[in-house]
């Protein structure tokens, strides 16, 4: 999901036609922790930060996009005291969401007469990924897709409309209906605002939201593994807290449960960056991700020995908007998938001819743009 422009379909089509050659980097990599043996509980630790109204945390969530907000809600609803740490503003790239969230077998689809199934959704994902996807992850995504939408709707996010967008063979992208004047609703910002409201109102007794808190290290300590042999007690490092900077002061908080929800690395530039390491061909492309997307959580997990997978799977979105005053800026505003889903066409800037099916997979559309369109050059002044 990435905020919908307020322009009408005709204006959107024109903008897409003019700006079709602008692409941006969006990463789809993930990290996986190596499996661990069952551990003894880490001893209770002392909170090294200033006392706060909600008390010492049971869980620290790092990052406040949709994943981090959802994790905080889930933990706090179960009675845990949660500290939600965010180095910038709440929402991250989730607040930039444009088109919607996909799900199969949902009540919204049923009400709108959409025929879909988990198997159908799974097939679309596998085909979109050229059969390279981790099937365990695909099955998890598909099987929980409907309940994820139920979760959002239960928290007053009105995902009451569904559209067919690129890479899908049936309408399953759930979104918020346009207002009475036809103006699209900013789905990402709406979701982030509503979930934050849940935390600050309904769950405020258990949640501390710390914006401007930059986590710099994940702390560990050595504990004994459970073992029946009394003469041999193997040990292993376990998570014991985080080190962070907040209000200009470096502090540590001891906690045994840390959720990393820090997002990707599309704006990690410079020598030794994740982007240059794993996808050097993407380094020169502009990005619509926030400047905060620098892979902090990935780097911290990697330093602890986490296995990184599919880091080279960096996605380039086909379309973005140019700002007339800064057309060569490395930061762009997303021209969302929804524009193409509602009929916007991509046209050859020289011939005015349509050159690709706009509802194809993003990589297919992007490749067609690279093949057809010359590199952007600003007009002479």
What is the set of active-site residues? Answer: 317, 340
Q: Which two tokens stand for residue 301?
A: 């997990």
Q: Which two tokens stand for residue 108?
A: 């919204």
Cα–Cα distance list, 166 to 125, 178, 338 (Å): 11, 20, 9
Cα(183)–Cα(194) distance, integer angstroms: 19
CB-CB contact of 340 with 16 (8 Å): yes
Cα(373)–Cα(38) distance, integer angstroms: 55
Biggest alpha carbon–alpha carbon distance for the chain = 80
Cα–Cα distance list, 285 to 193, 275, 279, 294 (Å): 30, 11, 11, 15
Category of 92 on φ-ψ map: left (φ > 0), alpha (ψ -120 to 50) or beta: left
Task: Write the burial class of residue 163 (CB in 10 Å: 0-12 exposed, 13-18 middle, 19+ buried).
Answer: middle
Q: How many CB atoms neighbour CB 352 within 10 A?
A: 8
CB-CB contact of 286 with 251 (8 Å): no
CB-CB contact of 246 with 281 (8 Å): no
Cα–Cα distance list, 137 to 31, 128, 262 (Å): 12, 14, 19
Cα(116)–Cα(121) distance, integer angstroms: 7
Q: How many CB atoms neighbour CB 131 within 10 A?
A: 8
DSSP letter, residue 375: P
Cα(343)–Cα(170) distance, integer angstroms: 16
């Amino acid at each position: 999901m990435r905020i919908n422009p307020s322009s009408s379909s005709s204006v959107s089509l024109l903008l897409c036609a003019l700006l079709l050659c602008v692409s941006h980097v969006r990463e789809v990599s993930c990290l996986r922790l190596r499996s661990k043996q069952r551990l003894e509980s880490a001893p209770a630790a002392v909170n090294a930060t200033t006392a706060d109204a909600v008390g010492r945390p049971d869980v620290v969530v790092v990052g406040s996009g949709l994943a981090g907000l959802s994790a905080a809600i889930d933990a706090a609803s179960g009675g845990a005291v949660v500290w939600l740490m965010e180095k910038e503003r709440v929402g991250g790239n989730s607040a930039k969401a444009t088109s919607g969230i996909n799900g199969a077998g949902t009540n919204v689809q049923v009400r709108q007469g959409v025929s879909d199934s988990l198997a159908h959704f799974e097939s679309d994902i596998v085909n979109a990924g050229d059969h390279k996807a981790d099937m365990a992850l695909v099955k998890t995504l598909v099987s929980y897709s409907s309940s994820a939408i139920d979760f959002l709707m239960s928290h007053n996010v009105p995902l009451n409309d569904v559209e067919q967008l690129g890479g899908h063979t049936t309408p399953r992208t759930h979104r918020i209906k346009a207002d009475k004047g036809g103006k699209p609703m900013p789905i990402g910002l709406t979701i982030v605002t509503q979930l934050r409201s849940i935390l600050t109102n309904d769950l405020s007794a258990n949640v501390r939201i710390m914006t401007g808190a930059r986590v710099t290290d994940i702390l560990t300590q050595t504990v004994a593994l459970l073992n029946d042999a009394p003469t041999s007690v193997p040990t292993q490092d376990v998570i014991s807290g985080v080190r962070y900077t907040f209000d200009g002061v470096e502090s540590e908080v001891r906690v045994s449960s840390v959720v990393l929800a820090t997002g990707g690395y599309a704006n990690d530039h410079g020598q030794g960056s994740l982007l240059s390491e794993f996808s050097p061909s993407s380094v020169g492309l502009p990005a619509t991700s926030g400047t905060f997307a620098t892979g902090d959580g990935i780097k911290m997990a990697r330093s602890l020995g986490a296995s990184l997978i599919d880091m080279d799977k960096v996605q380039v979105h086909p379309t973005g908007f140019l700002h007339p005053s800064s057309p060569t800026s490395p930061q762009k505003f997303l021209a969302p998938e929804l524009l193409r889903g509602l009929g916007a066409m991509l046209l050859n800037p020289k011939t005015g001819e349509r050159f690709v099916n706009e509802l194809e997979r993003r990589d297919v559309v992007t490749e067609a743009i690279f093949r057809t369109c010359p590199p952007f050059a600003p007009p002479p002044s």
